Amino acid sequence: MAQETVPDEVAQTERAAFRAELLASGMLIDGGVDGLYQRSGAFERIVRGVEAVASQAGAGIGGPQRYFSPLMAKAAFERTDYLRSFPDLIGAIGVFRGTDADHTALLRAAHAGEDWTAFLTPADVALCSAACHSLYSTLPATIPEGGLRYEVQGYCFRHEPSIDPVRMQSFRMHEFVCVGEAEDAVTHRNAWLERGLEVLAGLGLDVQAEEANDPFFGRAGRMLAANQREMTLKFEITSPVSTSQVRTAIASANYHESHFGGTFGLTAIDGGVAHSSCFGFGLERICLALLARHGMNPDQWPESVRSALWR
């Protein structure tokens, strides 16, 4: 999910201070690269509480549950069109397939501090960029009347290293996806935007819905972003997190139109290309928003919040 960037010293100072507080409290452990963290048990307990709240919000209406791997088939990843729209965010997997001589050269390069990854070759898997991306290739070619709905969760990767804790390179999304006719997808998106606001406000967070766009790459990307805003295809639920200067997206509601239906060959019951939409809770970002709002000691959080997370 995109976050507006403000090149402001106050914002940067606050982000650094929030990161330092998270590390000092032991909530997060520095992973050695900007945007990479190991999670403590306390942090994970909050995340799992948020996950339970999100899942409960979809009880009876969310559809079958799917939990996806951080990896997806490279062929399916290519069909998402992420390569065209967000090449700066993607991650691919390289593996060693060389000979003994190649292995010796790899070790020699590593020992010399050189780039040993030059000895790797592309694998047939890529790092997943959005939880719902792994769903579409598993769906039937013809979507039944009323559409299909799924509750999905998975790890996502986006290469945007930063000292801002909300800019994790590896994070989880808990999503509710609809695929069907255009009306099905739009109704789903709008209903979940309202429901998401209610769920997050119930955790004591200061939230509001805002029109948004994805960070499309390049000159053509600027046109796509403008069109996305003009067509009100994307909304974000925002909250103050690592800085008081900028509100951060902690959930998003997206109408994809026929994009995924077209690239994955999905047909709606009316014979047209299927449309899709999704609503995603950013689990780590919501956890961070809760820590920023209520403090680093969850045992001292308001009773209403604790009882909602850990029933």
Residue 156: CB partners within 8 Å, gap ≥ 6?
A: 70, 128, 129, 130, 131, 170, 171, 172, 173
- What are 36's two structure tokens? 């990479």
Q: Are 232 and 212 in contact (CB under 8 A)?
A: no
Distance between CA 262 and CA 179 in Å, rounded? 12
End-to-end CA distance of the chain: 29
The per-residue pLDDT for 7 is 56
Q: Where are the domains of the chain?
A: 9-91+129-309, 94-125
Tokens of 278: 């999704």
Tell me the C-alpha distance between 65 and 241, whole Å. 29
C-alpha 63: how far from its chain's center?
Answer: 20
Whether 120 contacts 94, CB under 8 Å: yes
What confidence score (pLDDT) does residue 1 get?
47
| Cβ(195)–Cβ(57) below 8 Å | yes
Is domain 9-91+129-309 annotated with CATH 3.50.50.60? no
Tens place of pLDDT per residue across the chain (311 aa):
444 444 589 999 999 999 999 999 999 999 999 999 999 999 999 999 999 999 999 999 999 999 999 999 999 999 999 999 999 999 999 999 999 999 999 999 999 999 999 999 999 999 999 999 999 999 999 999 999 999 999 999 999 999 999 999 999 999 999 999 999 999 999 999 999 999 999 999 999 999 999 888 988 888 888 888 988 999 999 999 999 999 999 999 999 999 999 999 999 999 999 999 999 999 999 999 999 999 999 999 999 999 999 98
Residue-by-residue DSSP string for the chain: --------HHHHHHHHHHHHHHHHHTSEEE-SSTT-EEEPHHHHHHHHHHHHHHHHHTTTTS-SEEEE-SEEEHHHHHHTTHHHH-TTT--EEEE----HHHHHHHHHHHHTT--GGGG-EEEEEEE-SSGGGGTGGGS-SBPPTT-EEEEEEEEEE-----SSTT--SEEEEEEEEEEESHHHHHHHHHHHHHHHHHHHHTTT---EEEE------HHHHHHHHHHHHHTT-EEEEEEE-S-SSSEEEEEEEEEEETHHHHHTT-B-TTSSB-EEEEEEEEHHHHHHHHHHHH-S-GGGS-HHHHHHH--
Q: Is 173:154 a contact under the CB 8 Å cutoff?
A: yes
51 token code pair: 């996950």
Q: Would you state the structure tokens that stand for residue 224, as one six-digit string?
A: 């796509």
Q: Which residues pair with 181 in a beta bridge?
A: none
Q: Which two tokens stand for residue 108?
A: 């020699």
Distance, CA of 81 to CA of 297 (rounded, Å): 42
Q: How far apart are CA 69 and CA 265, in angstroms?
A: 23
Predicted local distance difference test score (pLDDT) of residue 22:
98
* pLDDT for residue 165: 98
Dist. CA 139–CA 264, nearest whole Å: 9
The tokens of 202 are what?
């119930």
